[in-house]
Amino acid sequence: MAKASNPVSPRQLAATAKQASRRAYAPYSRFRVGAAVVAGSGKVYAGCNVENASYGLCNCAERTAIFSAIAAGESRVTRVVVYTPTPTPTTPCGACRQVIHEFGPEATVLCLCDGPDHIETTLDALLPGAFGPAQLQ
C-alpha cells in the first residue's frame, strides 16, 4: 500500500490492477479482472474478481478492492483503476458503479486493457443521477 505523502502514479496504479488480475478466482468465465482503488488516506487497495459456482455470489474486482479498503478502516475512495484482459477497455458494471458512488461519489475512474486504448472518466459520467446516502436523509 502506498502512503498519502507519496502519491501513487497512474502507471503504478495500472501495474497494481494488472497484478491483482493474476490473483482472480475465475474458473468459470476465465475473465480475470483486477482493480486498484486510492482511498481518502492516499493508501492503495487492490482487488480481483472472485467467482462462485452459484453465479449470483460472485464479486467483481472493483468491489473487492473497495471492500478491502473499508475493512482496513477507510471511509472513502477517490480513484478507481480497472484492468480487463480485453483488446478494448471495459467500464465497471452497474453494481460496482453503485458501490463506487457509496464511497466515492466524486471518484475518477480509469479503465485499462491489453490494447492501447483507455477510458478515463468520472463516476458522475458513468452513473448520472445516482441514488445514494443523501437520498435517505
Is 62 noted as a catalytic residue in this protein?
yes
Q: Which amino acid is at 41?
A: S
DSSP 8-state class, residue 27: T
Rounded CA separation 100/32 (Å): 20
Residue with cell 458512488: 101
Domain extent for 106: 10-126
Residue 133 domain-assigned (yes or no): no
**What number of CA atoms fall less than 13 Å from residue 136's CA on the CB side?**
5
Q: Give pLDDT, residue 7.
A: 81
Number of domains present in the structure of the chain: 1
Residue 37: what pLDDT?
98
Assess if residue 2 is contained within a domain. Answer: no
pTM, two decimals, is 0.93
User: Does 5 reside within a domain?
Assistant: no
Q: What is the pLDDT of residue 1?
A: 45
- Between CA 88 and CA 127 the distance in angstroms is 20
Is there a domain that residue 136 lies in? no
CATH number of domain containing 39 = 3.40.140.10
Residue 4 maps to a domain: no
Q: Cβ distance 85 to 63 under 8 Å?
A: no
| Cα distances (angstroms) measured from residue 91 to each of 7, 42, 67, 80, 96 | 24, 23, 19, 11, 10
Indicate whether 134 belongs to any domain.
no
In this structure, is residue 115 part of a structural domain?
yes
Chunk the chain into consecutive blocks of 10 residues (it has 137) and report each block's average pLDDT, rounded to whole numbers: 64 97 98 98 98 96 98 98 98 98 97 97 96 90
In a domain, 85, yes or no: yes
- Options 62, 74, 106, 120, the catalytic residue: 62
